[in-house]
Amino acid sequence: MYIIIVGLGGIGRTLVSIAAEHGDSIAVVDVKEERCNEILEHYDVMAVVGNATDRSILEDAGIDRADAIVTATADDAVNLMTCWLAKRYNVANVVSIVNQLGHSDLFKEVGVKITENPDELVANRLYYWSGSPDMQQVATIPGGTIFEMTVEEGAPSVDKEIRQLRVKDFVFIAINREGKELIIPNGLIKLQANDKITVFTKKEAEEASFKSLTEQLKVPKTEE
């Protein structure tokens, strides 16, 4: 894949690293020459210094043969204009971060795949996980999160079939039971104490899913 990455801040540099690991052909664009030089010291990429809203800069980066472009600058106006130009060049996959969520609709109207402001996303996630000591995050994937929770002895769900539980916006992926091979869950499986449950939940339902699972898989706390 030939990919153009616009903006070499933290997200942009990380994208370069990931794309390089996958063996992609990479072009980077940034207004700061020192950022481009830094990337060139570590990766075999094409680096173009300039503003990606300038057609000539995008052409220098090979926009006419790009399979994908990702805009990751801190300026939504730059990201949006660059994506619009990329669409004019018929780039198949156009992706951008959105720094202000109020601008999301503008990107969608142009036909751009978007993700939230990464700093805000990370901050919110850190705050949420800091208040959820019983949840172990396994992975974050597009649209949701995979995590593990252990069924406590005496929890309401012990000896209940999965179909008897309150399940909304999350699904059980696997059950790791001591002394057993990995169990692929179905509605008739009964949960046992110390089962380690792997769960997928939608991103927007993380907090509600964790609350529901805590109520069912953990022993209710009593007032002292």
Q: Which of 120, 147, 162 is where one domain is finished? A: 120
Q: Are residues 82 and 7 in the same domain?
A: yes
Q: Which residues contact 195 (CB under 8 A, 6 or more apart)?
A: 150, 151, 175, 176, 177
pLDDT at residue 28 tops 90: yes
Q: Which of 68, 98, 120 is where one domain is finished? A: 120
Q: Among 74, 60, 75, which Cα is nearest to 27's?
A: 60
Structure tokens at 45: 């990429």
pLDDT at residue 77 tops 90: yes
Q: Are residues 23 and 113 in the same domain?
A: yes
Could you give the number of structural domains in the chain? 2
pLDDT at residue 144 tops 60: yes
3-state secondary structure at position 95? strand
Q: Which residues contact 179 (CB under 8 A, 6 or more apart)?
A: none
Which has the higher per-residue pLDDT, 113 or 158? Answer: 158
HEC-encoded secondary structure of 110-176: HCCEEECCHHHHHHHHHHHHHCCCCCEEEEEECCEEEEEEECCCCCCCCCCEHHHCCCCCEEEEEEE
Which has the higher per-residue pLDDT, 82 or 138? Answer: 82
Structure tokens at 148: 């593990």
| Residue 129 pLDDT grade (very low, low, confident, very high; cuts 50, 70, 90) | low
What is the model's pLDDT at position 180?
81
What is the model's pLDDT at position 224?
47
Residue 20, domain extent: 2-120
Q: Residue 207 belongs to a domain with what CATH number?
A: 3.30.70.1450
Share of the chain above pLDDT 70, in %: 86
Tell me the mean pLDDT in the region 99-110: 85
pLDDT at residue 52 tops 90: yes
3-state secondary structure at position 109? helix
